[in-house]
Amino acid sequence: MTTPDPATAAATPRKNGAISALVDYGGLGLFVIAYFLHVKFVPGGPVGWMMTAGLHGKSDLVAATWWLVGGSAASLALGFAVEKRLAPMPMVAGGFALVFGVLTLAFHDPRFLKIKPTVTNLCFALALFGGLIFRRNPLAWMTGDALPLPEKAWRKLTLRYGIFFLAMAILNEVVWRTQADNVWVLFRFPGLWLCAVAFSLTQVPFMMTYLKDPEAPAPPTES
């Protein structure tokens, strides 16, 4: 998914909202546009290649993957250049997008692209469940410690998000194996993003309860 950083939706935003959105969704946005508008490069033109687009013709997941790979790489590079850092979840999701995008292009097989959300969400789920087992707090690391929550709240939130990521992995498998490519592309974006936002909103009352706890630590401040 990608999967977006759902917990961060209720936390303190990053310094540059436009750059943050570009890093998170730039590659996916180009992919969806290229897929439905049939944007691709074909032989011809003064430099040997030319870009074509149109609402007619057969959509091509592999052709659109070029835009996903290029957009993801450019978005990550721009985000790092501007903010001098990359949040963990966009960095991991962007890395997976590049790996599975390149595999799709190399083998001309869109199944690599379709299983990418499954693998990404499973990795996030395993990381969170593993954190619970070893009494670590990977969710706080993923969100940049943006929320001043007590340990018991983090553990409950970690379990909930672990289950959420696992459910998104299963849902992706169901959708891409049973639905047409057009449906899966829209499920990929904005579908998964909407699921993440909706789930995050359901967690806001829980987080606010602990944020109001007088024993909760004070929010971190910049030096």
pLDDT tens digit string along 70-118? 999 999 998 889 888 877 888 888 999 999 999 999 999 999 999 999 9
With cut-offs at 50, 70 and 90, classify the pLDDT of residue 52: confident
Cα 220 to Cα 223: distance, rounded to the nearest angstrom:
9
Give the pLDDT confidence score for residue 195 in this predicted structure.
97
Q: Is the pLDDT of residue 24 over 70?
A: yes
Q: Rounded to two decimals, what is the model's pTM?
A: 0.83
Cα 54 to Cα 39: distance, rounded to the nearest angstrom:
7
The angle formed by the CA atoms of residues 100, 93 and 21, to the nearest 5 degrees, is 125
C-alpha atoms less than 13 angstroms from C-alpha of 14 in its C-beta half-sphere = 24
